[in-house]
Each structure stands twice: as C-alpha cells, then as structure tokens.
Amino acid sequence: MTEAMLLVLGSTALTPWGRDQIRRLCHQARRRGLALIGADTPENLRKATRDELARVDTVLPLDVHDADACRAWAATGPAVAAVVTIRELSVLPAAVIARELGIAGNDPEAVHRVRNKDLCRDRLREAGFPQPRTALCADAADAERFLRATGPGPWIVKPRDGLAGIGVSRVDGPDGLPAALAAFGAPPAAMGALPASAGFLVETFVEGAEFSAEGVLVGGVPRVLALTRKGTGEGFVETSQRVPSGLDKATAEEAADAVARALTAVGVTRGVFHVEFWVTADGIVLGELHDRGGGDYIHALVEHTRPGLELYGTLIDDLLGRTPAPVPEAVGAARAEFPLAPPGRLRAVHGWDALSRHPSVLAAHLRVAPGDVIGPARDSYTRPAVFVAGAEDADAVDALVAELTAGVTFETEPDGTAV
C-alpha cells in the first residue's frame, strides 16, 4: 500500500531549536506511517546538513516563502495528505497549498491577517480585546504624526510582518525614529535578504510582564498546552523561556481563555500556535499571534513538561482527520536560557563543556567560536549560546539555570568591529 505523503514546507533550519523542531516533526510523522517530502529553497538545500536531507524521502527545491510559487507547484505536483511548516515565512504558502489541494489547512486570508500585525490588531479590537494603538506608516513623517497624536510615549517601532525580534525598537520620541527605521535594513547575516514589508508599524507601549501561550488546534478548537514566562534583555532580546509561567491560577485561566478566543476571532483553525501576551494592571493584553510554534526551544519545554506528548504528531493527526492521543498532565519544569557575552573578539569560552554534560541539561549549543567577533545581541539570531534544562519545579529549574550560567565565562578582547 502506498504511504500517504506529508509535505514539510521549509525542511531545513538556521537555528538549533529549528533543527530540533524538524527532527521531532519528522520522527512523529514517521510514527504515523507517513512518507515525507522536504521542500526548501535551492539555496537552503545546498547548505543543508546530511542529517537534514536524510530525514525526508524526497527533497523538493521550491521557493517555500513565495505563495504564488507554492500554488503553482500544488497545481501540478503529487497529491499530499497534509502540509506543515515550522517557519514564519512559510505559513501563508502552506495555507495556499492546502487550499489548492483541497486538504485541511488554514484559510489563507486568516493567515495573511495574522502575518500583518496591524490587520490582526484591528480584528482583535473589533472582537472586544484591548490592544495597543497602532499605525501603519509609510515613512518617518507618518510615524511622527502618530507620536504627536498619542504622546507622551514611549512607543514600539517594528516591521509590519517581521519575525524573531528583527528590527523591533523602543523610541521615546521623534529623535529615536531614524535609528529605529535604520534597523529594518540590517537583518542578521544568517537570514539573508528578507522580503520587503509594505510599511512599518508604530504602537503605543504596553507596560506589563511578558508571557506567551503555546498550543495546538484540534477540530478547530485551540488547546493551550503551556504558558511560558519570558525573560528579556536590552532591546527586547529574549534571554530565557520557562514553563511553567508562574502565573496564579486565575490569571493563567484568564490568559488561556483570551488566547483561545483570539485565535477563533482571527480565523485560525489549524496548526500549532504561539501567542504573546502581557499581564498588565488592567488585565491580559494580547501581543502578536503566530499560527506556528514558538522558537527558542519552546516546543521542547512543552513536550518535556507533558511527558509523552507529541506536539507535531497531534497536529498531523488533526490535519489527517485522526483522533489525537489524550494530552498528558503537566508536570515538572523546563527552561531555555541564552547566556550573553560581552562584545568583542572571542578568545575562549570556559565552562561550556561541563554545562553540556550536566545530567539535567536537555540541549546545549554554543553558536560562536574563538576568533568570532561578538556584537550586542539584537534579536533571536545574534545570541551566542543556548541551553535547556529540566527540573522538578520552577524554583528548582531557576536555581539550576543560575548555577549553570554562573559556571560559564566568555572571554573577549576589544575589537573595533563589535558594535
């Protein structure tokens, strides 16, 4: 009997957590008897590792970021039972392929709404959710008008459809706009050229602690599996993720309910989701919605704290019309930590090998080597290291992470290029 085929749109990854997502996704699909087509851009496939290529049965060169190219492929390509992606830039092409093939997937219009943050905020406001005031701007003059109308500030300036914290800045007045707008044109080198965005956003700043909700939709109903507490450094760079969140029961229930209602309001019906929110003095305020899983090993935190859960397997079961296994109870705690290094030319890293061998460390990746020039961490792609640890509860995992981090030293020397 011919195996049903699963199309993995964006089958390679730049980050260690992305590669782990693909590994888990492919393993869980294999357990369900599926053959795998791994689609990615020709450039990404040329740079792919042997392991990445070996995870799939068929390698498909395709511009997985271009909805029209993916629609054209679907019109003539082999029939697939389902299409999945972990990649932000491929969520719309995945929805377009699903519609073209008549298989389960999100409405492309709903995906477009979520990808363009101003449209998403408009829909959430219409549905009664509190949201920051937002303006879609074409240039600095538009932004200055919004600042004058909504003072005294501060404000957030960011791409309309960005990702990974790239180009996000806080400004306290018009004097900060030139530097904020310049950040749009300087993505991490590893990302290559990003698609041009139609305008940029300026939003009023939301004061509150930042969290996110992780889950999967089953039968069109959002299931929140975990709430994640995030730590941030200078410039909104995320420096840690922890499950459980530490929120009290009433606040956690309020947040989970708001997230589920919001996903329904914007029209998302399929997929793994990652929804950011703030806990403010006036209640829950939703941030960005994503109809794909969170980065930073958040998927591993969710699966570790629900032993036996197959996050991507649950998604695949839903897309294929199968009944997913019951969700295991939440136990324990897990945390992803991103130690930062002082800017300069790296001479040595001390203590990393010992950290990597610790029995409670689930994953550890050093992304820099001696001789590299380390600049300030500006987004998800410019942090020098990451590790993931598990423990019996939130206090224990925080204490363990603090101990492990204290044992690592990045030795750098001044370098004029580290700016």
**pLDDT above 60 (res 35):** yes
pTM for the full predicted model:
0.93
Joined together, the tokens standing for residue 7 give 């199309």
Tell me if domain 5-103 and domain 133-204 are identical in fold: no
CA 65 to chain centre: 16
Give dist(CA 276, CA 341) in Å, integer: 27
Tell me the pLDDT of the chain averaged across its residues: 93
Per-residue pLDDT, 168: 86
Per-residue pLDDT, 415: 77
Per-residue pLDDT, 59: 97
Domain 207-331, CATH number (from 3.30.470.20, 3.30.1340.30, 3.20.20.140, 3.40.50.1000): 3.30.470.20
φ/ψ region of 93 (left if φ > 0, alpha if ψ in -120 to 50, else beta) reads: alpha
The CATH architecture annotation of domain 5-103 reads 3-Layer(aba) Sandwich (3.40)
Third-level CATH fold of 133-204: Dna Ligase; domain 1 (3.30.1490)
Burial of 76 (0-12, 13-18, 19+ CB in 10 A): exposed
34-48, 259-273, 365-379, 397-411 — which is least confidently predicted? 365-379
**pLDDT above 60 (res 55):** yes
Please state the rounded mean pLDDT for residues 360-373.
Answer: 97
Strand order in the sheet with 344-350: 373-374, 344-350, 409-413
| Angle at the Cα of 12 from the Cα atoms of 11 and 17, rounded to 5 degrees | 110
* DSSP single-letter state for residue 134: E
Contact (CB, 8 A) for 171 and 180: yes
Per-residue pLDDT, 1: 42
Per-residue pLDDT, 189: 54
Give per-residue pLDDT as tens, 301-312. Answer: 999 999 999 999
**CATH class for the region spanning 335-413:** alpha beta
Domain borders along the chain are 5-103, 133-204, 207-331, 335-413
Per-residue pLDDT, 2: 60
Joined together, the tokens standing for residue 313 give 């397997």
Please state the rounded mean pLDDT for residues 211-224.
Answer: 98
Give dist(CA 248, CA 267) in Å, integer: 29
Nearest Cα to 251, choosing from 290, 279, 292? 279
Nearest Cα to 228, choosing from 161, 296, 292, 165? 296
Give per-residue pLDDT as tens, 263-304. Answer: 999 999 999 999 999 999 999 999 999 999 999 999 999 999
**pLDDT above 60 (res 193):** no
Give dist(CA 75, CA 73) in Å, integer: 5
